[in-house]
């Protein structure tokens, strides 16, 4: 479903991703962990070309996304993304946030988009909030709307970049719950997070990144209980 081959990314002289190769299968939930600055966000953002790729290839369902002939907007409709800072559109109501892209990009009728949006709002537990502006929502509610907004495009893959890191502790649970539900439904997910409990519970595989490399990848059980590399052990000793 996602195939990354020898991906490199540099910002100026700063080589952030040095040589990343990984394959992610359909319905797999891959959790990416690693110290700050190790390139987790950059890696994720290369998967939908929010960052240009310096070298190597990213294939989404066999399509090379950096190929000039590829319509990246088409690819992006199939790869949803959820950001740490939510990035809801503050000038639009919750409902308008969700129906905007389906109407503009997929040319859905308003009725069609609204129907789907209401369904998704129900799913994330915010049915009664459709007419409020994001400003009046709590962090956890904002992030659930952001997830609904991404799902409205009916993506095949969802990318999450530290979706709970900007939340007050008491709101982390409600967002993780929505993500778990999504995983149970078989969504292919790549999740950057510091929530090790989530990684253990829903992750099929955990990738540990450090210094622009994938240092180690394994099942959560193996990686957390039996890390092979010193750097992995060091990192885990700090976060567990």
Partner 1 sequence: MIQLAGSFIESISVSTGFRFDLLAGYMPLFLKGTLYTIGISLFAIFIGLILGLLIGLGELMRNKLLSFPFKAYVAFVRGTPFFVQILIIHFGVIPVFLGKTNGVAAGIVALSLNSAAYIAEIFRAGIQSIDKGQMEAARSLGMTHTQAMKSVILPQAFKRMIPPLGNEFITLIKESSLTAIVAVPEIMYWARAFNGEYYRVWEPYLLAAVIYFILTFTLSILLSHLEKRLATDDKS
Ligand X SMILES: Nc1ncnc2c1ncn2[C@@H]1O[C@H](COP(=O)(O)OP(=O)(O)OP(=O)(O)O)[C@@H](O)[C@H]1O
Q: Choose the one of Mg ion, ligand X, partner 1, none that binds residue 224, judging by a C-beta under 5 to 8 angstroms depending on kind.
A: none
Would you call 238 helix, strand, or coil by DSSP? Answer: helix
239 binds ligand X (CB under 6 A): no
Nearest CA-CA partner of 139 in 60, 85, 188: 85
Instruction: Give min distance, CB of 208 to partner 1, in A.
Output: 25
* Cβ–Cβ < 8 Å for 126, 118: no
Print the binding letters for residues 3-42 with ligand X: x by CB under 6 A, - otherwise: --------x--x-x-----------------x-xxxxxxx
Would you call 57 helix, strand, or coil by DSSP? Answer: strand
164 binds Mg ion (CB under 5 A): no
Q: Which residue number, 41 or 232, has a Cβ lying nearer to Mg ion?
A: 41
Would you call 203 helix, strand, or coil by DSSP? Answer: coil
Q: Which residue number, 12 or 62, has a Cβ lying nearer to ligand X?
A: 12
Task: Return the percent helix, strand and coil in the chain, to nearest 5.
Answer: 40, 25, 35
Q: Tokens standing for 173?
A: 């649970």
Q: Per CB under 8 A, which region of 13-21, 25-33, 88-96, 115-123 contacts partner 1?
A: 88-96
Number of residues this chain uses to bind partner 1 (CB under 8 A): 28
81 binds partner 1 (CB under 8 A): yes
41 binds Mg ion (CB under 5 A): yes
Instruction: Report which secondary-structure segment, H or E, holds 118.
Output: helix 110-123
Residues that bind Mg ion (CB under 5 A): 41
């Amino acid at each position: 479903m996602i195939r990354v081959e020898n991906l490199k990314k540099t910002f100026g002289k700063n080589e952030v991703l040095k040589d990343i190769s990984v394959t992610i299968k359909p319905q797999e939930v891959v959790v990416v962990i690693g110290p700050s600055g190790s390139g987790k966000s950059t890696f994720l953002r290369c998967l939908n070309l929010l960052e240009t790729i310096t070298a190597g290839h990213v294939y989404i369902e066999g399509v090379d996304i950096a190929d000039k002939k590829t319509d990246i907007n088409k690819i992006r409709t199939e790869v949803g993304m959820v950001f740490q800072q939510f990035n809801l559109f503050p000038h639009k109501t919750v409902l308008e946030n969700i129906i905007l892209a389906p109407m503009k990009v997929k040319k859905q009728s308003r009725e069609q988009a609204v129907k789907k949006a209401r369904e998704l709002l129900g799913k994330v537990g915010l049915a009664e909030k459709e007419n409020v502006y994001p400003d009046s929502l709590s962090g956890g509610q904002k992030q659930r709307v952001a997830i609904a907004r991404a799902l409205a495009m009916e993506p095949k893959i969802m990318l999450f970049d530290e979706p709970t890191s900007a939340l007050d502790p008491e709101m982390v649970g409600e967002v993780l719950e929505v993500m778990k539900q999504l995983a149970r439904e078989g969504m292919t997910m790549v999740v950057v997070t510091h929530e090790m409990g989530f990684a253990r519970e829903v992750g099929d595989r955990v990738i540990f990144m450090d210094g622009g490399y994938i240092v180690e990848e394994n099942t959560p059980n193996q990686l957390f209980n039996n890390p092979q590399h010193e750097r992995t052990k060091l990192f885990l000793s700090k976060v567990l």
